[in-house]
C-alpha cells in the first residue's frame, strides 16, 4: 500500500466504520516499533507502522486504523480522546478496534547461549560479551548457540 493509498484507505475506513470524514493525511512511519500507529493532535495527521501491516495483514491493520481514528474523531469532537478516557474506551468497543498492538515476532528475537561445562542455557534479548561473562552455575565458558 503506497502513501496515497494509505490516506485513501483511512478515509474509507473512517466513512464506513464511523460515518465521519477524515480530513487530514496518513503516513507510514518505519521508526515505530511497539505501537501500531500514532495520532498527532497538533496537525491531525496519523502515522502507522508498516511492519505490522506486512506481518499481520489487512484485517488486523484495519483494527489498528480504527484505534487511531477513535483518537482522531474524539479529539475534534472535544471529547476524551486518551486511552484512559471512558469516551475512548466506549467508542473503541463499538467499532471493534484493537486496544493494544499485536506483538511482532521480529521484535523479540532472543540470543541463546550455552555453558560449555554444564550445558546450562541462557536466553538474552541483548548480545553479551562471551569473553567477559561466564556461567553463573559452574563458572564455565559461555558460547553463543547458532541457529540451524
Residues classed as catalytic: 68
Q: What angle do CA 29, 35, 36 make, to 5 degrees?
A: 70
Domain of 25, in residue numbers: 6-95
| 80 and 121, same domain (yes or no) | no
pLDDT in tens, 35-63: 999 999 999 999 999 999 999 999 999 99
What local confidence, expressed as pLDDT, does residue 39 receive?
Answer: 97
Mean of pLDDT over the chain: 92
Q: Could you tell me the pLDDT band of residue 2, with boundaries at 50, 70 and 90?
A: low
| 126 and 75, same domain (yes or no) | no
Task: Assess if residue 103 is contained within a domain.
Answer: no
| 87 and 122, same domain (yes or no) | no
Q: Could you tell me the pLDDT band of residue 125, with boundaries at 50, 70 and 90?
A: confident
Task: Assess if residue 27 is contained within a domain.
Answer: yes
Q: Could you tell me the pLDDT band of residue 33, with boundaries at 50, 70 and 90?
A: confident
| 60 and 130, same domain (yes or no) | no
Distance CA 46, CA 38 (A): 6
Q: Could you tell me the pLDDT band of residue 103, with boundaries at 50, 70 and 90?
A: confident
| In contact, 51 and 58? CB cutoff 8 Å | no
| 60 and 127, same domain (yes or no) | no
For the domain that residue 82 is a member of, what is the CATH number? 3.30.2010.10
What local confidence, expressed as pLDDT, does residue 34 receive?
Answer: 86
Cα 102 to Cα 5, 39, 53, 84, distances in angstroms: 23, 18, 11, 19
Single out the residue of 29, 10, 16 nearest to residue 71, CA to CA: 10
What local confidence, expressed as pLDDT, does residue 106 receive?
Answer: 63
| 90 and 115, same domain (yes or no) | no
**Domain count of the chain?**
2
Amino acid at each position: 500500500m503506497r502513501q496515497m493509498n494509505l490516506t485513501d484507505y483511512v478515509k474509507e475506513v473512517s466513512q464506513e466504520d464511523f460515518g465521519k470524514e477524515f480530513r487530514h493525511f496518513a503516513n507510514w512511519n518505519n521508526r515505530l516499533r511497539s505501537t501500531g500507529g500514532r495520532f498527532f493532535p497538533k496537525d491531525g495527521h496519523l502515522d502507522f507502522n508498516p511492519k505490522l501491516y506486512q506481518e499481520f495483514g489487512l484485517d488486523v491493520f484495519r483494527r489498528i486504523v480504527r484505534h487511531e481514528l477513535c483518537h482522531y474523531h474524539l479529539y475534534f469532537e472535544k471529547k476524551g480522546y486518551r486511552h484512559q478516557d471512558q469516551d475512548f474506551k466506549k467508542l473503541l468497543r463499538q467499532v471493534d478496534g484493537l486496544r493494544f498492538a499485536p506483538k511482532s515476532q521480529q521484535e523479540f528475537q532472543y540470543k541463546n547461549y550455552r555453558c560449555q561445562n554444564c550445558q546450562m542455557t541462557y536466553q538474552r534479548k541483548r548480545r553479551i560479551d562471551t569473553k567477559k561473562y561466564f556461567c553463573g552455575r559452574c563458572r564455565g565458558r559461555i558460547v553463543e548457540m547458532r541457529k540451524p
